[in-house]
Amino acid sequence: MDGIALLTITVLAVFVGFEVVSKVSSTLHTPLMSGANAIHGIILVGAIIVAGQASDPWVLAVALLAVVLATANLVGGFVVTDRMLEMFRGRKREVAPPGREPEALKPEAKEGLR
């Protein structure tokens, strides 16, 4: 792909990134960071390409190291983000809407603590 097309895509991606992320609530900033962290693990694709074209054993060794590191980043990032977000889910208060009603809240929330 030629340079100008890549540059165009890069610039547009900057705007998409700013646009999408500025709407994230500060409650979810930690999952956002770890989710974004997982996404840059996609460098794995680059590492695989380089490793797949390596003929020199040293080049292959370094490329495989890159594959290991990138996989750790990608897999670990998505797993840990999922773990965090799982906790945010399932705590919706269906009984009591945002206005608080201690009586309605009590049994359900207690169950969660078990």
Cβ 53 to other proteins shortest distance, Å = 7
Instruction: Annotate each residue in 33-72 with x if it binds other proteins (CB under 8 A) or - if it does not, as one string.
Output: xxxxxxxxxxxxxxxxxxxxxxx---xx-xxxxxxxxxxx
Cβ 65 to other proteins shortest distance, Å = 6
Distances (CA, A) of 81 to 2, 40, 61, 92, 113: 35, 14, 30, 19, 22
Does position 22 interact with other proteins (CB under 8 A)? The reply is yes
Cβ 101 to other proteins shortest distance, Å = 9
- Burial of residue 77 (CB within 10 Å: 0-12, 13-18, 19+) is buried
The number of beta carbons lying within 10 Å of the beta carbon of residue 107 is: 9
Does position 82 interact with other proteins (CB under 8 A)? The reply is yes
> Count residues contacting other proteins (CB under 8 A)?
88
